[in-house]
Structure 1
């Protein structure tokens, strides 16, 4: 098993998902997507990832020859409608999806505590709250990078983060994105997010 290739695939996919959910895609990001630069784990991993990559390829084929600025404009409009609003159909925050978590009471402090325990804090250029999907994915990216650098405890932090947070909401949010979008790109993002969460959870749960 080529562990280096697995790390590269894990990091490449989480980088894509952070960028896709953090803000409306910019021109450089869309160009990379249309050039097929997004990769994932080799072989058949799970159904959601397969569906997501098939939809991403469908998006690429449909938009490869269009002016890049037109593609960017379309995705900006849909990102805003879908995830920003006003009154977006999907609110990509853990404390919203998990009805038992109070936003300021129980929710945000617990998310921030998970970050602090691992020695991480959200980048200053992230305007979203700590429980936003892009921020939680950025934390997951940090943990994977830490594992790649040989910090064995990072896998334990990831297991706990799945147990206490991601397992309880990320798949529901991801599939809601896929269901409520009008753009093939975000349908792909939703399925890739669900499949990636499942893939990473399986890795993390190897820790006893």
Structure 2
């Protein structure tokens, strides 16, 4: 593998890992400290409109909060995450089956999603507190496919292409739009932009390589 290919895999995984950490559950203290300390890196050059906008929003959020107590920032993000995605009455349901018109929420569509996981030899981690159509679980599957591609398993590009066509890319744009419209904290607006941009970028890679 060339240096450029290795760097691309590193960048792809770094972005997906960031999104998983941001959306899997309430932000941890470690995640917030790393964010404010500059551990999350943004490209120096333009990538595309959605990613650029997301990086700008995240950079602005970090700049606004870098001198604050990380515990206070973590508390603010935890409250916003809970309001958006947990509830008791969540504003947004971060589940594929909620956004699909061809299946009931948490209904039969779950089996189709899980079949995509199983076909590629992956089982969702038990650590995730939500059903297997939750956004962070689908991103964890995407991460697994990227890792397998990096290890030379080229057939995983085909699994990724099908997963985009049948699942991930079918609902993420609408979900991201809802997050941008509903969020009161710029951090989650940036996360929505980056999520939308990463999914589109990953779909393009899968279409080219499959």
| Same fold, TM-score > 0.5, yes or no | yes
Output the CA distance in 1 between the equivalents of 2:194 and 2:184.
Answer: 16
Change (3 A) 1:104 1:76: closer
Q: Deviations over 1:162-200 (max 9, x none)?
A: 010012101111121122100011111111101111111
Alpha carbon RMSD of aligned pairs, Å? Answer: 1.4
Give structure 1 regions of 4+ aligned residues with deviation exceeding 6 angstroms. none
Aligned pair partner of 1:167 in 166, 169, 173: 169
- The correspondence of residues 1-208 of structure 1 with structure 2, limited to 5 A, is 2-39=4-41, 43-103=45-105, 105-208=107-210
The answer to whether the 8 A contact 1:46-1:199 is kept is: no
Output the CA distance in 1 between the equivalents of 2:5 and 2:37.
Answer: 25
Output the CA distance in 1 between the equivalents of 2:138 and 2:176.
Answer: 13
The answer to whether the 8 A contact 2:36-2:70 is kept is: no
Query: CA shift at 1:32, angstroms?
Result: 1.2
Output the CA distance in 1 between the equivalents of 2:156 and 2:39.
Answer: 27
Query: CA shift at 1:102, angstroms?
Result: 2.2
The answer to whether the 8 A contact 1:177-1:190 is kept is: yes
SS at match of 1:86: coil
SS at match of 1:81: helix
Output the CA distance in 2 between the equivalents of 1:148 and 1:114.
Answer: 20
The answer to whether the 8 A contact 2:57-2:187 is kept is: yes
Output the CA distance in 1 between the equivalents of 2:17 and 2:203.
Answer: 17
Give unmatched runs, 5+ long, in structure 2: none
Output the CA distance in 2 between the equivalents of 1:135 and 1:121.
Answer: 10
Q: Deviations over 1:17-50 (max 9, x none)?
A: 0011001111110111112222356632211100
Output the CA distance in 2 between the equivalents of 1:40 and 1:146.
Answer: 24
Under a length normalisation based on structure 2, what TM-score does the superposition of the two structures give? 0.95
Output the CA distance in 2 between the equivalents of 1:87 and 1:193.
Answer: 23
Instruction: Give the length in aligned residue pairs.
Output: 208
The answer to whether the 8 A contact 1:13-1:39 is kept is: no
Output the CA distance in 2 between the equivalents of 1:7 and 1:174.
Answer: 24
